[in-house]
Amino acid sequence: MKKGFIIAIDGPAASGKSTTAQLLAEKLGYVYIDTGAMYRACALKAKKMGIDINDEESIRELLDDIDIRIENHNSKNRIFLDGEDVSEDIRADDISALASAISAIPAVRYKMVELQRKMGEKGGVILDGRDIGTFVFPTAEVKFFLTASPEVRAKRRWLELQQKGINKDFSEVLADLVKRDNNDSQRALAPLKKADDAIEVDTSNITIEEQTDYLYQIIRSRMEEECKSS
C-alpha cells in the first residue's frame, strides 16, 4: 500500500531545493531523500581510493561493493558510505565538481537511480535532485522545478562557504556553479531538465519560508483533489 505522494523537486545547484524539501518533509510527515548526496558519496569514495573520475572501468568496479545508506533524523539526512557517516565530508568544495563529473557516468546513474527508486517507491517521500521528475519518478504526483539567477545562487553558496570559514572569491564560486550546471544539463543520460509537467518556481526574490509555503499549498490542493476523486 502506498504511504503517500512522491514529490519531486529538481533544479540547478543552490536553487534552494534541499532546504525547501526538508521543511516540506517536516510539515507533511514525509521522508526526505537527498539524491545529490548519493552522487557526492560516490565521488568521495573514488577520491579516497585515488581513482581518476575519467577512469570509467575503475569507477564501475567501485560500484560493485559500494554501500550508500541515508538515515533520516528530524527530516535531515545523514549519509553513510560503507558504514561511515560522511555527511560533512561530502560537502567539501572539491566534492561538488567531482560529484557532477561522476554523475555523468551511466553505470553510476543506473546504480543510484535503482537505490532511489527502492527508497521512494512506496510514496510518502520528497526527493530532490536533477532528474527526479524526468527519469527517477516520471509519474511522481507533484513535480517542482526550482530556479534562481546564477548570481543569486552563487551568493547563497558563497555565504555558506563564508559561514564554514572558507574564503573563496565570489567570481570563482559563480564560475564553478555555472560550470557545474552546464555539466549537469549537457550530459547524455538524464540531464538536469524541467519535466514538462513540473511547476517552475523562480526563487530569486522570495524567502525560503515563502517558497516552502507556496509549494506546500500546491501539494495540499493536489492531495485534496486526489481525495475527492478516489
77 touches ligand DC by CB under 6 A? no
Phi-psi region of 165 (alpha: psi -120 to 50; beta: other; left: phi over 0): left
Count of residues interacting with ligand DC (CB under 6 A): 14
Residue closer to ligand DC by CB (options 116, 212) is 116
Among 81, 144, 184, 195, binds ligand DC (CB under 6 A): 184
45 touches ligand DC by CB under 6 A? no
User: Please, which of residues 101-160 interact with ligand DC by CB under 6 A?
Assistant: 103, 129-132
35 touches ligand DC by CB under 6 A? yes
User: Does residue 81 contact residue 68 with C-beta atoms inside 8 Å?
Assistant: yes
Among 20, 100, 203, 212, binds ligand DC (CB under 6 A): 100
CB neighbourhood size of 108 (10 A): 25
- Give the start-end residues of each E strand in the chain: 6-10, 31-34, 68-73, 76-81, 84-85, 125-129, 142-147, 199-202
The Cα 23–Cα 190 span in angstroms is: 26
Q: Which residues bind ligand DC (CB under 6 A)?
A: 13, 35-36, 39-40, 99-100, 103, 129-132, 180, 184
